[in-house]
Chains A and B, each alone.
Chain A
Amino acid sequence: MPVRLTYAVLIITIVVIAIVVLAPGVTASRGGKSLAFVALFIFPILAVALGYQHHMDRSRETSFCLSCHLMEPYGRSLHVDDATWIPASHYQNNRVPRDEACYTCHSDYVMYGGIKAKWRGLHHVYAQYMQDPKPPLHLYHPYNNRECLHCHLGARSFEEGTTHNADSAIMADIKSNKMSCLTSGCHDQVHNTTKLTEVKYWEER
């Protein structure tokens, strides 16, 4: 949703409200009453809906997540020059959209997963200001393979991967989330914010 449209609706609404407020005599006629209804009920609701949609769209952006000081090392971990660092390799190789990197991996791919992610985001804000969290941060729940398989399921690199097929049980365990992609020792280099001083960084051209 273009922000210009939201601004246009906001400006039109304020102008129409100004007419009703500065010249309340117009509301004496039937047309004036309709104008007041549009100015004081329909347009404000429309403007709030558009603004809300804009904020929701923007809450997916990487820059939005990294606007919290606490998230700064997690943002830096996306630039580590090491292909074994899962978030960095996904970010740098466009396996996830760079402008929505956090949201792409940290939202649940289930019904209402996007809403849950935004609800968690509100909880993050509460925790930031009320609970004074200290890094390293921990997920509320163990990372579910479902989020990885949303993209990797069916991909040749995953389906024909040597390790994934070393034992027939492995693939089934990965797909049923019995064996975690991240914590079973296979793809365990994730954000690792405690090691950020020991690594080289990729410089984006």
Chain B
Amino acid sequence: MLDLYFLLALVVTGFVVGQYLEKRHYQSIYKRERALVNLVTTSSKHPVGDIPPVTDRRLVQGSVVVSVDYFKRLLAALRNFFGGNVRAYETLVDRARREAILRLKESCPDASQIINLRIETSSISKGRKNQIGSVEVLAYATALYY
């Protein structure tokens, strides 16, 4: 019985605090995206439009590791039973990816353009068999200054 109470406590804490933290993170992401929207970004190899001679070019990157809360982990386990979209994890990867791209942009605020944006995702295992709960996203690109 004690196990059940403990489990319930973890789930409730995970849900309440996790939802709050996620909302806060998303608000921060929206704010920063709006501020950085004018920085030209593309995943193509060539810069956008005709540009003056480039004075500097640098490899820039941004990375983040984000984890899910206990409630979402349970939800994913249940979803594994029935199949379908794991909605709990969709916010996880979305947040991680947008955060990584924002960190990339923030690492070179004076850049004129960012080209050849590439994104790598990998999962980080918790240690217990099959219990993967966090995801690492690395975004890297070339920043051009002119």
Q: Say whether A and B bind each other.
A: no
Q: Which residues of A contact B (CB under 8 A)?
A: none
